[in-house]
Amino acid sequence: MGNTVLKQGESVYKTYTGSAVLTPTFQIISQYPKIPVERMEFDDFVLVFDSPYKINVRQENEYFIHEDPQLDMICWGKTLEELFDAVFEEFNFLWKDIALEEDGKLDESAQRLKQILLLIAKEEKIQ
Protein backbone atom coordinates (compact mmCIF):
# COMPACT_ATOMS: atom_id res chain seq x y z
CA MET A 1 0.00 0.00 0.00
CA GLY A 2 1.27 3.46 -0.88
CA ASN A 3 1.24 6.55 1.28
CA THR A 4 -0.97 9.60 1.25
CA VAL A 5 0.11 13.16 0.62
CA LEU A 6 -2.40 15.68 1.92
CA LYS A 7 -2.35 18.95 -0.03
CA GLN A 8 -4.12 22.17 0.80
CA GLY A 9 -7.01 22.78 -1.56
CA GLU A 10 -6.85 19.33 -3.17
CA SER A 11 -8.95 16.30 -2.55
CA VAL A 12 -7.19 13.43 -0.82
CA TYR A 13 -8.78 11.17 -3.42
CA LYS A 14 -6.52 12.75 -6.05
CA THR A 15 -3.35 12.37 -4.02
CA TYR A 16 -3.85 8.92 -2.52
CA THR A 17 -1.31 6.50 -3.97
CA GLY A 18 -2.58 3.30 -2.40
CA SER A 19 -3.55 0.17 -4.24
CA ALA A 20 -7.27 0.89 -3.92
CA VAL A 21 -9.40 3.92 -4.65
CA LEU A 22 -10.18 5.66 -1.38
CA THR A 23 -13.91 6.06 -1.06
CA PRO A 24 -16.07 6.55 2.00
CA THR A 25 -17.16 2.97 2.42
CA PHE A 26 -16.77 0.59 5.34
CA GLN A 27 -15.07 -1.94 3.07
CA ILE A 28 -12.18 0.44 2.35
CA ILE A 29 -11.99 1.56 5.96
CA SER A 30 -11.69 -1.99 7.18
CA GLN A 31 -9.08 -2.67 4.48
CA TYR A 32 -7.01 0.40 5.42
CA PRO A 33 -7.68 1.13 9.09
CA LYS A 34 -4.44 3.12 9.37
CA ILE A 35 -3.76 5.40 6.42
CA PRO A 36 -0.09 6.44 6.28
CA VAL A 37 0.69 10.07 5.45
CA GLU A 38 4.27 10.92 4.44
CA ARG A 39 3.80 14.67 4.06
CA MET A 40 1.25 17.46 4.27
CA GLU A 41 1.58 20.26 1.74
CA PHE A 42 0.25 23.64 2.85
CA ASP A 43 0.30 26.90 0.87
CA ASP A 44 3.51 28.18 2.46
CA PHE A 45 5.26 25.10 3.87
CA VAL A 46 5.39 21.31 3.82
CA LEU A 47 5.40 19.01 6.85
CA VAL A 48 7.45 15.88 6.22
CA PHE A 49 7.01 13.07 8.74
CA ASP A 50 10.06 11.10 9.88
CA SER A 51 7.95 7.96 9.57
CA PRO A 52 4.50 8.09 7.99
CA TYR A 53 1.86 9.55 10.28
CA LYS A 54 -1.00 7.07 10.64
CA ILE A 55 -4.55 8.34 10.34
CA ASN A 56 -6.53 5.76 12.31
CA VAL A 57 -10.01 5.78 10.84
CA ARG A 58 -13.07 4.44 12.58
CA GLN A 59 -16.72 5.00 11.88
CA GLU A 60 -19.30 5.90 14.51
CA ASN A 61 -22.83 6.44 13.29
CA GLU A 62 -22.51 8.81 10.33
CA TYR A 63 -19.03 10.12 11.22
CA PHE A 64 -15.52 9.06 10.32
CA ILE A 65 -13.21 9.73 13.29
CA HIS A 66 -9.46 9.94 13.89
CA GLU A 67 -8.04 10.12 17.42
CA ASP A 68 -4.42 10.62 18.42
CA PRO A 69 -4.07 10.78 22.22
CA GLN A 70 -0.35 11.58 21.93
CA LEU A 71 -1.19 14.82 20.10
CA ASP A 72 -4.45 15.36 22.02
CA MET A 73 -6.21 15.29 18.65
CA ILE A 74 -9.75 14.27 17.78
CA CYS A 75 -10.95 14.97 14.24
CA TRP A 76 -14.13 13.92 12.47
CA GLY A 77 -16.10 14.34 9.28
CA LYS A 78 -19.20 12.99 7.62
CA THR A 79 -17.03 11.84 4.70
CA LEU A 80 -13.45 10.67 4.53
CA GLU A 81 -12.57 13.85 2.67
CA GLU A 82 -14.00 15.94 5.52
CA LEU A 83 -12.04 13.84 8.02
CA PHE A 84 -8.78 14.32 6.09
CA ASP A 85 -9.48 18.06 5.81
CA ALA A 86 -9.97 18.20 9.59
CA VAL A 87 -6.70 16.33 10.27
CA PHE A 88 -4.94 18.60 7.78
CA GLU A 89 -6.27 21.77 9.44
CA GLU A 90 -5.44 20.45 12.90
CA PHE A 91 -1.82 19.87 11.87
CA ASN A 92 -1.70 23.34 10.31
CA PHE A 93 -2.88 24.83 13.61
CA LEU A 94 -0.61 22.66 15.79
CA TRP A 95 2.45 23.42 13.70
CA LYS A 96 1.95 27.18 13.45
CA ASP A 97 0.62 27.78 16.97
CA ILE A 98 2.55 25.19 18.99
CA ALA A 99 5.61 23.81 17.15
CA LEU A 100 6.83 27.21 15.96
CA GLU A 101 5.98 29.13 19.14
CA GLU A 102 8.63 30.25 21.62
CA ASP A 103 8.81 27.93 24.64
CA GLY A 104 8.31 30.83 27.06
CA LYS A 105 4.87 31.51 25.57
CA LEU A 106 3.69 27.90 26.01
CA ASP A 107 2.46 26.22 29.18
CA GLU A 108 3.96 22.91 30.27
CA SER A 109 1.53 20.68 28.35
CA ALA A 110 1.93 22.75 25.17
CA GLN A 111 5.73 22.48 25.51
CA ARG A 112 5.43 18.68 25.69
CA LEU A 113 3.18 18.73 22.62
CA LYS A 114 5.74 20.92 20.82
CA GLN A 115 8.49 18.40 21.59
CA ILE A 116 6.39 15.58 20.16
CA LEU A 117 5.57 17.56 17.01
CA LEU A 118 9.23 18.41 16.43
CA LEU A 119 10.16 14.74 16.85
CA ILE A 120 7.65 13.38 14.34
CA ALA A 121 7.83 16.04 11.60
CA LYS A 122 10.11 18.56 9.95
CA GLU A 123 9.16 21.66 8.04
CA GLU A 124 10.28 22.33 4.49
CA LYS A 125 9.76 25.72 2.91
CA ILE A 126 8.09 25.90 -0.47
CA GLN A 127 10.37 27.54 -3.01
Residue that wins the pLDDT comparison between 105 and 24: 105
Interval 16-52: pLDDT, tens: 333 333 333 333 444 446 788 888 888 888 999 999 8
Which residue in 44, 52, 45 sits closest to 5, CA to CA? 52
Task: Tell me the H-state helices in the chain.
Answer: 12-15, 26-31, 80-94, 108-120
> CA–CA separation, 53 vs 120, rounded Å?
8
* 58-60 and 63-68 beta bridge pairing: antiparallel
Query: Could you give the count of Cα atoms lying within 13 Å of 22 in the half-sphere of its Cβ?
Result: 25
Domain ranges of the chain: 4-125
Mean pLDDT of the region 63-83: 92
Whether 59 contacts 26, CB under 8 Å: yes
Q: Is 13 a residue whose pLDDT tops 50? A: no
- Long-range CB contact pairs, 73-80, < 8 A, 24+: 79/24, 80/12, 80/22, 80/23, 80/24, 80/29
Interval 85-98: pLDDT, tens: 899 999 999 999 99
